[in-house]
Amino acid sequence: MMDFIIQATYFIGALLFILGLKQMSSPVTARRGIIWAGIGMVMAVLITYFHHEIHHNYIWMTVAIAIGGVIAYISGKKVAMTDMPQMIALYNGMGGGAAAAIAAVELVKQEPMSFTIQSLAVVGALIGTVAFSGSLIAFAKLQGIMRGVIRFPMQQWTNALVFVLAATLGLAIVLSGTQYAMATLIMFFVLALLFGVMMTIPIGGADMPVVISLYNALTGLAVGFEGFVLGNPAMMIAGIVVGSAGTLLTQLMAKAMNRPISNVLFSNFGDAGSGEAAAVKGSMKEIDATDVAVMMAFAEKVIIVPGYGMAVAQAQHKVWELTKLLQEKGVTVKFAIHPVAGRMPGHMNVLLAEAGVPYDIIYDLDEINDEFPTTDVVLVIGANDVVNPAARNDPNSPIYGMPILNVDYAKNVIVVKRGKGTGFSGIENQLFFADNTRMLYGDAQAVANELVASLKEL
């Protein structure tokens, strides 16, 4: 009877994970989805105390849950919204590491397992370990602990060799049943850790949204596989759902960049171009905040395009204050979000929601692209490649074919930028030199403050 209650509770918890994930697909219901998924997790954790295989490990379980819970609560409370990408990368890595640890514990026992279960344990260990070490490198890059990219001759061949060696050791473990040496198991995990590191170090920050999403998918699959090993339906269902959702999101984000996933993982950013990019003609034309405020105040429609520059400056609250002032003057204001704006999926949406921007004035690329030709002013805040017309008209550009926000079709474009250099990827932006574009230099928050002050004086 107790076993039935345990399995039923796991199943209900898994259903709550699925319903929660569904609710998270909309900003309106995302908070409810997180609560539902949290309730499912609490149920799964509590019912585990009654599992017949726990034996005398209650103290260790409680200590581990307490330590993890305190760390998560404190870090969750203190982390700035602008640092959310690296926090997600870190927590995602912990999930992959946990799945790999489960596999390690089961394999260290060297107890008889069916060929299928042992295969799932090894595969889950491999991808969970890769997701763990790779996510830690992604965290280090986003946090600024590791700067730039690391590349060396024959890098991809070296990476392939490391993976083949790890996979070969994994296959040896599966085929040997319970007769494998501990040294083989240890070397298998070491090579898997090394592969995750080596696969991630050459990837630049511009590709981090896709990388984080991919590692999220790998973590989900690892958890799902280890769920089969433990016979735990909650882990099976939750892992498979997260894995499939993460895979779909990774594909959608790669499509939004017009780059196959293989190009993100195994090529330098910018390898897509077939020749030398076209030279940019014209010059950047500067404007001051007072003139921009007047231009926006007397416009009928303004579209704001946020980017990573807004996140770095933590300017979302001031941007929302600016929006409300414009709305009070009868201006229609909308926000346009590119799928890969920022450093993680939905980064800009999270920042705007945190500032209190209503969901009904936030639009994605497909919903708003047709409105730019009828827009009086577009305010671009810290975005670069996602608004670069070279993606449409320069076949030799590294970003050619990437869907962009067509801000250059608007009557007037104001670009808020800290300096005159190229963006994060190092690609020159044709938009900055266009006849209808003016550059407003400065930190995004300082500029937003100036615009707010100027609007209040009108």
Which residues are identified as catalytic? 385
Which tokens belong to 454? 């100027």
143: closest CA among 74, 205, 50? Answer: 205
Q: Which residues face 304 on adjacent strands?
A: 335, 379
What does the alpha-carbon distance between residue 232 and residue 230 come to, in Å, rounded to a whole number? 5
Alpha carbon separation from 358 to 127, 320, 353, 414 (Å, rounded): 39, 10, 7, 23
Edge-first strand order for the sheet with 377-381 is 362-364, 332-337, 301-306, 377-381, 412-417, 437-441
Q: Are 410 and 368 in contact (CB under 8 A)?
A: no
Type of residue at 411: K
Which tokens belong to 366? 């497909």
331: closest CA among 357, 292, 299, 307? Answer: 299
What does the alpha-carbon distance between residue 311 and residue 376 come to, in Å, rounded to a whole number? 25
Q: Are 15 and 21 in contact (CB under 8 A)?
A: no
| Helices H / strands E in the chain, number of each | 17, 6
100: closest CA among 61, 72, 133? Answer: 133
SS3 readout for 200-213: HCCCCHHHHHHHHH
Which residues, at least 6 apart from 165, have a Cβ–Cβ distance to it below 8 Å? Answer: 191
What does the alpha-carbon distance between residue 386 and residue 307 come to, in Å, rounded to a whole number? 9
What does the alpha-carbon distance between residue 329 and residue 332 come to, in Å, rounded to a whole number? 9
